[in-house]
């Protein structure tokens, strides 16, 4: 069966520091992968999606970037964090048969 993991679960970072969140999927090949951010009391905002290795689509202009170095690995990065980057970051893969998303456990980022 398919599983998805992301880490770290929680992190507190100062403004201007770098960020790296990692997500890996097991049990499926060539998954469509997504990074969402959920600010406090808000819905899920799509940040990036990827349909294959090295293929990244960005949804919103911001200081974040994403990479997909391997088929089942998706990384979210920033060189310099802003206060507004605080939130709950969710990685997900999409089942091609139904279109439903399966989410990782989430990474809660607080920028101080």
Q: Which is nearer to another protein, 2 or 16 (CB)?
A: 2
Would you call 22 exposed, middle or buried from its count of C-beta atoms within 10 A (0-12, 13-18, 19+)? middle
26 near another protein, rule: CB under 8 A? no
Of 68, 70, 40, 42, nearest in space to 55 by CA: 68
CB of 79 to another protein, least distance (A): 26
Rounded Cα gap, residues 7 and 25, in angstroms? 12
Q: Which is nearer to another protein, 26 or 105 (CB)?
A: 105
Residues found near another protein in the complex (CB under 8 A): 32, 34, 36, 42-44, 46, 49, 51, 90, 92, 94, 98-106, 108
């Amino acid at each position: 069966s398919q599983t998805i993991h992301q880490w770290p679960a929680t992190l507190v970072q100062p403004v201007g520091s770098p960020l790296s969140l990692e997500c890996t999927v097991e049990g499926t090949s060539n998954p469509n992968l997504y990074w969402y951010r959920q600010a406090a009391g808000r819905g899920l905002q799509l940040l990036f999606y990827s349909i294959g290795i090295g293929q990244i689509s960005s949804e919103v202009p911001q200081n974040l970037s994403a990479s997909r170095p391997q088929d089942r690995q998706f990384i979210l990065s920033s060189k310099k964090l802003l206060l507004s980057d605080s939130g709950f970051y969710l990685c997900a893969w999409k089942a091609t048969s139904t279109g439903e998303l399966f989410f990782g456990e989430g990474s809660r980022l607080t920028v101080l």
